[in-house]
Structure 1
């Protein structure tokens, strides 16, 4: 086969492969966009360390472009040095990817996991006490009375919990659940006000009756949840900063294990969805709303362009407080419905699943690119890459430019659109 035709076939084959790779990722991105319109969705902060991954992959592409220029000049030494640089930054990309995955794992963003912890929730079946005073948990922080618990005490609670579950992830016959230390003044009490007393390998209610196996399982789940910072959420970051729950496309506020629709100025469509009758707080008698117009009991339209009106109405299954100030309709902060809580409790964090699938798939393709760079380096050392044999550098450029561009797109997609 003529050399020119041979090179053309190689380039075309790689181009077809790269197109197939792009279609693979496009399919997952499309699925992500479609599924993100579900009733409940989670926005997860993309690990910051992936920024360094992005810089690394861009530098690989830049160095390969330079290598392509120096090949044309038949400068083998410069080509070898540049290929070494691409290998270094390619490996740096891999390193930062692993660090990013570690961040995902430590923050509870696993491949398949619920948003809300389904078992072992704090104060569901057990809670801590300090010197007989109950320690509460708002889903993010511990409190003793009205004050947030000292960090040193929080650390001791975590160690207390780890001592119970022995850092295991499931209860087995080998799990002793015996304490190695005395954790006074902290104790554990059940929701029906019975203290758990640890005596050697035994766990007793108020120091008398032994816990059944199912009760031990509940105690183990409680300790494991505390140990892993999953007292309420399965995600261990800070709500509003590291992750946010969306309900019907709206980001929810969170306070003390409760979710709320945020206050917002209502658009025309939202106003048109309100019906009556209702009784305004200003004592004007029963009114209705038709297509965003307030109608009084006489059937006349009410001018709400000035003054203040407030009323409550049901939109779907949520009771909202609405106020009108000088013609501006404002939906006040309102708690979500029981059905909405059920949907959130049953929801899995699909976002992290997509992040894992896409980043790991991309990583595997990067490994193939690094292997090819190592082959190029060996050829360059043997002076087998010159101006008459540029196709290998060209192939490396095509492959890495596609993977680099793909990663930049994924990074921007999860950083901004997501």
Structure 2
């Protein structure tokens, strides 16, 4: 299969077909394109053209298209659809995707849209999902699953599974529950096929099954599913009743969103923004960290101002100030990035003290190697051993302190329940610049006897 590639020629062709209302050609063209690629096309159209296409195509395709659209594009399209038209789209979606869309609708039309859904059980499940916090397993799960009761025999189980499977896009697992819907285990399809039809499920199901609580954070669910290579995981309520399941496609979205957020925070962007957002939104996201950098630079200038006399005697120290600041920032970012990644993957084990000692020893080793190279270079260049020694010893101290700050800060934030990703990028760079320059001049002053 040739990967889809969006071209300017295709967009122009679709614009012309929409303008000329060549519906049959549009339907034929879009019918050959995957719904995710249709969403990519619609993201490039204006609101009127996008709405026209959504209304023209069948709901069994456009419902999936809606889930793939950029949020602002979807919002614009939905605002141009009637409550009945929106309900028609929701009926084609799994409950988790339907609930996500309903959650984006203006509150005044939600009830009207829900009442227009013909499948009342589907509507009930959507309303049930809306009760959960979106940042929880309950807000992530879907109601569609296949479950059987431990008291059924195999023949009854197969009949019930056939009926349930009609509403499930993909059957990842068969869950076993008791009469009160408490999750008991899972059923192997192989055991089901090779067991007598009169055998009760209680005799053949596997009692061990991984599950998560409805209140579990999506990030924790992602860790569990990644660790045990699960394609789906059941979700239970506070008393152990099976209420839904989370599938791997939802977890991929969680991982991507978390990675995007961490990347932006590491780059000094404090909000979830995209390249095509307004200038004002982008400014609000970037400005706080830029202000922090401004104050950090001003602080470094103040520190340097306190060593003016030393500058007059040893001008060469001034030449190495950018190098010291850069090394402090680089080491701090490296240390914090490794810790943040380890915390995200749940790879950080043991006490904070042990981790700090390890990172500081690593920083010390790196610092000694770099300092030796710098000592040799400076001595040959300027011919003054004591000056070269002062700069090199300062570099070791700066790197060790930067490694400590870069390691301790994300671990401390994590312990306090704050996203440790905030400790990367401008925060670490700015703090290490200030400490690095202060340490640099203080050590140089001591060694040179100024």
State the TM-score, normalizing by the size of structure 2: 0.24
Q: Which protein is richer in helix relative to its size? A: 2
The higher relative CO (CA closer than 8 Å, separation ≥ 6) is in 1
